[in-house]
Amino acid sequence: MILSSPNASAFQSAICNAAQTRKTSPTNRPRSSSSSLSRLLMAADPELKKETTWDRITGPKLFKTVTNWEGIHSVPLVPLRVLTGLLMIHHGSEGGIGPANFGTPEFQGFIDYIMVPHFGFLPGPLELWAALHDYAEFFGGILFSIGFLTRPAALSLLGTMLSAVYFHLSAVGSQGFPLGHVSSYSYDFEEPLLYSLIFLVFWFNGAGPLSIDSIIYKSIAPDNNNDE
């Protein structure tokens, strides 16, 4: 790029100032230095274009990986958490609105066709285990979606989903995974396995923003908001 004389002088001055700032900065962070340099260069030459969205998806940033899931990077966790929790509420409603609807064909079918042949090794009445399964998904889904006691809720939901993975694998096997062709166009264990991974993420990372957990944490541990 060829600059006119005044612009060339301003350009060289901006480069020198940015370099001096980088040398004298105690933290010497490349990200902040690069940002400062970009602003100085744009001030020196107004014709310099700001990076566009197209530049970001076709340039080097196409390969950039987010390593810190705080701030703006945690925002996608909100719809993922809420929608997953709502779907779990639906899963926990066997035979009616609400969990553990004893006496309904759906609840009894869950016991006869899932619990008896595949979980008969569990101690005690299988009706109790079926009810616990429904309660965990229904109330765990509510807690998970609003972000309250998210880690315990995620752990209980993870347990129900791993049980579902076991059921499907014991009932029909791996169905030729990963290249098998099945009539339903998806492996039976596929959905609960994906749910399990989601709950595992939230067990390790917590609820994320826009959650009751984050509000409580800020009020009881104000000095530890930057902890990992």
Structure confidence by residue, pLDDT tens digits, 119-134: 999 999 999 999 999 9
**Is 2 a residue whose pLDDT tops 50?**
no
**Is 226 a residue whose pLDDT tops 60?**
no
CA 218 to chain centre: 21
Give backbone dihedrals phi and psi of 153, rounded to 5 degrees, phi first. Answer: -65, -45
Q: What is the mean pLDDT of residues 98-111?
A: 88
Give the tokens for residue 54.
């197209």
Q: How far apart are CA 193 and CA 13, in angstroms?
A: 58
* pTM score of the predicted model: 0.71
Going by pLDDT thresholds of 50, 70 and 90, the confidence category of residue 55 is confident
Mean pLDDT, the chain, whole residue set: 81
Return the closest-CA partner of residue 152 out of 142, 161, 140: 140
The H or E element containing residue 216 is helix 212-220
pLDDT of residue 33: 53
Q: Which residues are CB-contacts of 50 (< 8 A; sequence separation ≥ 6)?
A: 42
Q: With contact defined as beta carbons under 8 Å apart, do 98 and 105 qualify?
A: no
Residue with tokens 């006496």: 103
Q: With contact defined as beta carbons under 8 Å apart, do 127 and 165 qualify?
A: no
pLDDT in tens, 147-204: 999 999 999 999 999 999 999 999 989 988 988 888 888 898 999 999 999 999 999 9
Residue with tokens 């972000």: 147
Least confident of 8-12, 144-148, 183-187: 8-12
